[in-house]
Structure 1
Amino acid sequence: MSKVFVLGATGQLGAAVVKGLLEKNVSVTAYVRNASKAEKMFAKSSNLNVVQGDYDDLDVFKAAVTGHERLFLMVQSFTDMRGVKYAFAKIAYEAGVKQIVDISCTQEMALSWRSNTVCEVHRESEEAIISIPNRGKFVALRPSGFFSNFFHGDVHTVRHANAIMGCVPSDEKRMWISPTDISLVAVNVLTEPIEQHKDCVYEMTSESLSGDDRAQILSKVLGKDIKYVLRSAVEEYKALTGHGMPHDIAYGLVDYFSLGHVNREKSQYE
């Protein structure tokens, strides 16, 4: 079976992909910033090779990726996502990689061209990779909102206010997906015939839930009354940037969450 190189192997999604591949007895190389962290995360396996490197260590990556047929590409940097993904993809294809599986952005957020910073950097990244001459196959996975991303924030408001908060109307449903589900799809694509998936794009989601739905589920699980509290776009923006999120990313998310439903409704009549 093809050897798989995993970029971002100690992140929540990357780690799940590594574990899923190892369970299928696939030979995996995990590219990580912290090798000792990786050794603690993954059980010892003759099929696992850990390589320490960062986005700037292209020579390290070039030497390590040689001999692999597939690359799982997960880049968390919004600062230069296009540059990082393009550099790693180009080196990988030139080294003989036949398939890249990339985590991109769901089309649900791309209401119009350049409307959202989050989706725009992913779009630019996909276009840059597709334009590489004589490249191998390129599969884009486009998941909807990660459950885990919002639970990181919810845990604080649940603990201190028995509430989850957002700028979306309480009864408006949103598409959600677990990183576990994303990893299962990625593992399938990385282990099935390359020609089966070719240059496919997979829009991914698993649940459609409103703020009230989520609050009800949390109330049942935690055994206490959890409410969904609607806050203004300004309050949402301040909350996101207060936790260190850059302005452009926070603005893009708030713009989508607070106005996206209005824009989608308008588009139905245009």
Structure 2
Amino acid sequence: MSKVFVIGATGQLGAAVAKGLLERNVSVTAYVRDASKAEKLFQQSSNLNVVQGSYDDLDAFKAAVTGHERLFLMVQSFDNMRGIKSAFAKIAYEAGVKQIVDISCTQDMALSWRSNAVSENHRESEEAIINIPNRGRYVALRPSGFFSNFFMGDVHTVRHASAIMGCVPADEKRMWISPTDISLLAVNVLTEPIAKHKDCVYEMTSESLSGDERAQILSKVLGKDIKYVQRSAVEEYKALTSYGTPHEYAYGLVDYSTLGHVNVGLPILLGRDTESFETWVENNKQTILQ
């Protein structure tokens, strides 16, 4: 089985991908800022190697990536996503990596050219990697809104106001996907033949839900009456920036139009049905209510 290098292995998705690979007896190298955090996340395994490094100093990555056939690329950067991703990818391909699996941005933000800072950041990153000379394969996973984005703000209003909030009408649909499904697809692609997935792009939306529909599901699972409350775009923007979201990203998230649709082919890639929002809430119920 190919050795897999995982960037961002202590983050939500990276950790799930690393654990999924280890469960399949794959040799994994975890590239992390904090080695002690990685040791707490992962059980001792002869198949796990931890390398401490950062986005800014790629010497550790360059020294460690040789001998790996595959790379999982998950980069969280508002300011220099394109530069970071392309630098990792170029070093990896030159070191002999044959396949990169990248977490990119979904179709529901694929608007007209330069109309949205969020989608533009991801588009530029994909183009930079695709245009690397003599590169290996490049698979882009494009998830829509993570169910787990709930913990960025909704969890607080659910606990203290029995409500979730947004700046769109209560019946307007938004696109969603479970992080469990995202990590599973990444693990599948990283362990299946490289020739199967080639340079595929996989859009990832499993459910189209309005604010009212999400509130109804939360009410059912949590056993308390949850309402969807529409607030102004200004209030939404202020909430996002209060969480540390930079202006261009906060504005893009508030102002984007929903263009996506449910990707009915996902069970083919996952080998099972997608996880519903209701199931995800059920699985995270204790954390939400604590």
The alignment status of 1:13 with 2:13, answered yes or no, reads yes
Q: Distance in 2 between matches of 1:126 and 1:120?
A: 10
Q: State the identity as a percent.
A: 86
Deviation at 1:177, TM superposition (A): 0.6
Deviation at 1:181, TM superposition (A): 0.3
Q: Distance in 1 between matches of 2:172 and 2:156?
A: 23
1:75-94 aligned at under 5 Å gives the runs: 75-94=75-94
Q: Distance in 2 between matches of 1:243 and 1:50?
A: 30
**Number of residue pairs the alignment of both structures matches:** 260
Q: Distance in 2 between matches of 1:212 and 1:63?
A: 51
1:219-234 aligned at under 5 Å gives the runs: 219-234=219-234
Q: Distance in 2 between matches of 1:106 and 1:230?
A: 24
- Corresponding residue for 2:27? 27
Q: Which amino acid aligns with 2:50?
A: V
- Corresponding residue for 2:184? 184
Q: Distance in 1 between matches of 2:42 and 2:84?
A: 26
Q: Which amino acid aligns with 2:230?
A: L
Q: Which amino acid aligns with 1:162?
A: S
- Corresponding residue for 1:149? 149
Secondary structure of the 2:115 match is coil
Superposed CA offset, 1:47-71 (max 9, x none) = 0001111001211100010100000
Q: TM-score, normalised by structure 1?
A: 0.94
Q: Distance in 2 between matches of 1:151 and 1:241?
A: 15
Secondary structure of the 2:134 match is coil
Q: TM-score, normalised by structure 2?
A: 0.88
- Corresponding residue for 1:126? 126
Secondary structure of the 1:64 match is helix
Deviation at 1:150, TM superposition (A): 3.0
- Corresponding residue for 2:288? none
Structure 1: runs of 5 or more not aligned = 265-270
Q: Distance in 1 between matches of 2:144 and 2:65?
A: 29
- Corresponding residue for 1:66? 66
Q: Which amino acid aligns with 1:83?
A: G
Deviation at 1:170, TM superposition (A): 0.7
Secondary structure of the 2:64 match is helix
Moved over 4 A (4+): none
Secondary structure of the 1:5 match is strand
Q: Distance in 2 between matches of 1:244 and 1:182?
A: 25
- Corresponding residue for 2:164? 164
Structure 2: runs of 5 or more not aligned = 261-290
